[in-house]
Amino acid sequence: MGPAWDDSRLAFRDAAEWFVRTVSRVGDDLWTRPALGEWDVRALVGHTSRSFLTVETYLDRRASTVDVASPEDYYRATRAVAAGPAVAARGREAGEALGADPAAAVAVIAERVLRLVDAQEGTELVTTIAGGMRLEDYLPTRTFELAVHTADLVTAIGGPLDVPPTAARQALRIITELAVTDGAAAPLLLAATGRSGLAAGYSVL
């Protein structure tokens, strides 16, 4: 266990707590509001809650080899899966599984998984949908998902887009690496420095 793992755990915790706080602000009349693509708020919250549940599930599925060496490699390996219809369906199912009090359910799940992560060393090999990964390489992808989708949720229900700096830093590091290695950095640089806007549909994922 070292400083990098400590930083990743902190970023994950900060992102998780931001998500839980944001979900607690969803009023009864907002759960069916359109949120992201074909998801309503409940489905978006359900999908985002899977950022916790996959950590829990994968820690029970230990791997024997490292097949995916970095968070960026994970996103490259899962692009086809992420674009498929099954992701949208799982989001809706996860939203329904949160039951009558989704905010309370999310808080319970988050606290359980945060305790689980705090008990790990980061070197554990887990079996993800992309193959075997070290937990220290997989966890930043969950921080990324929590940061991005909590921002989606805030956009849907209103409020400040105050992503925690620790989580933002980790998420932006992944975006930067994907953009650079995929040859998509120039448009991002121009947009980030006020030169031009990004083309419709631009994404590093």
What is the per-residue DSSP string for 94-136? HHHHTTT-HHHHHHHHHHHHHHHHHT--S--EEEETTEEEEHH
Q: Is the CB of residue 147 less than 8 Å from the CB of residue 156? A: no
| Residue 18, domain CATH | 1.20.120.450
Degrees, nearest 5: CA angle 61-65-70: 90
Domain extent for 138 = 3-182
193 located within any domain: no
Q: Is residue 8 part of a domain?
A: yes
Domain assignment of residue 189, yes or no: no
Kindly indicate the confidence band of residue 1, based on its pLDDT and cuts at 50, 70 and 90: low
Q: Which amino acid is at 98?
A: L
Q: Model confidence over 184-199: pLDDT tens digits? A: 999 999 999 999 888 8
> What is the band of 16 on the pLDDT scale with cuts at 50, 70, 90?
very high
pTM of the model: 0.95
Per-residue pLDDT tens over the stretch 124-160: 999 999 999 999 999 999 999 999 999 999 999 999 9
**Mean pLDDT, the chain, integer:** 95
Q: What is the domain count for the chain?
A: 1
Average pLDDT over residues 48-73: 97
Per-residue pLDDT at 32 = 97
* Band of residue 88 on the pLDDT scale cut at 50, 70, 90: confident
Please indicate, yes or no, if residue 191 is contained in any of the structural domains: no
Is the pLDDT at 7 greater than 80? The verdict is yes
Residue 201 lies in a domain: no
108 belongs to a structural domain: yes
Q: Is residue 64 part of a domain?
A: yes
| Predicted confidence (pLDDT) per residue in 36-54, tens digit | 999 999 999 999 999 999 9
**Mean pLDDT along residues 10-24:** 98
pLDDT of residue 85: 78
Q: Which pLDDT score is estimated for 77?
A: 94
Q: What per-residue confidence (pLDDT) applies to 87?
A: 87
Gap between the Cα atoms of 202 and 151, Å rounded: 18
Mean pLDDT within 78-83: 80
Does residue 137 fall inside a structural domain?
yes
